[in-house]
């Protein structure tokens, strides 16, 4: 999922529905596993020629653009970090840090895990979560959201409907 979707889903689930906070920490943790990809989004933004293309570049990639970028631009340590941060071992390590230093914010472990769970169906094998990384390289073959408009439309439509429902009839 794109970073803005992760932020919106985190707001909806953990702030609006479950009432966790503080908001800033929830939002940071919601996109934490994608930090190695920030350079990819900046690269796409810089490469877009028109203003509307710059905005769309956050949500959409040309077919094969992700693979091309991975092999031509992104250093191996960033790829390794991405797979580690999208694994159960990365989640476990994050959770251990939360337990040891931020015991009052244990829910952050679930915010982090939700990022990984959302990415399973919305990423292809190229950059999808490898749950048992670094011990295994087996990943799920989801649908690469950036190459299929309907994935983005479905995600944001669902977000809008859920938030309207929450506004009309708070839980």
Residue 85: which H helix or E strand, with range? helix 76-85
Closest CA to 116 of 135, 99, 133: 133
Any idea what DSSP says for residue 50?
Answer: S
**Number of structural domains in the chain:** 1
Range of the domain at 140: 3-168
pLDDT (0 to 100) of residue 166 = 85
State how far the Cα of 34 lies from the Cα of 40, in Å rounded to an integer. 10
Cα 141 to chain center, whole Å?
16
Contact yes or no for 90/29 (Cβ under 8 A): no
pLDDT (0 to 100) of residue 145 = 75
Global pTM value: 0.80
Give me the tens of pLDDT residue by residue for the chain, a chain 171 residues long.
778 888 889 988 888 888 887 888 899 999 999 887 776 667 666 666 666 555 555 555 555 555 556 556 656 777 788 889 999 999 999 999 999 998 888 899 999 999 999 888 888 777 788 899 989 888 888 887 777 778 888 888 999 999 899 888 865
pLDDT (0 to 100) of residue 92 = 96
Cβ neighbours around 20 below 10 Å, total:
19
């Amino acid at each position: 999922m794109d970073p803005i979707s992760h932020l919106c889903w985190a707001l909806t689930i953990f702030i609006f529905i479950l009432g966790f906070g503080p908001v800033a920490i929830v939002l940071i943790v919601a996109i934490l596993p994608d930090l190695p990809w920030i350079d990819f989004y900046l690269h796409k933004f810089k490469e877009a020629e028109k203003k509307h293309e710059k905005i769309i570049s956050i949500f959409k990639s040309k077919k094969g653009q992700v693979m091309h970028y991975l092999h031509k631009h992104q250093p191996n340590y960033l790829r390794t970090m991405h797979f580690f941060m999208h694994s159960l071992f990365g989640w476990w390590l994050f959770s251990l840090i939360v337990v040891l230093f931020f015991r009052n914010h244990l829910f952050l472990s679930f915010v982090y895990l939700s990022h990984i769970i959302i990415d399973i169906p919305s990423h292809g094998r190229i950059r999808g979560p490898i749950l048992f990384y670094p011990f295994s390289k087996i990943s799920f073959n989801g649908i690469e959201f950036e190459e299929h408009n309907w994935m983005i439309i479905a995600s944001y439509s669902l977000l809008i409907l859920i938030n309207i429902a929450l506004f009309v009839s708070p839980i």
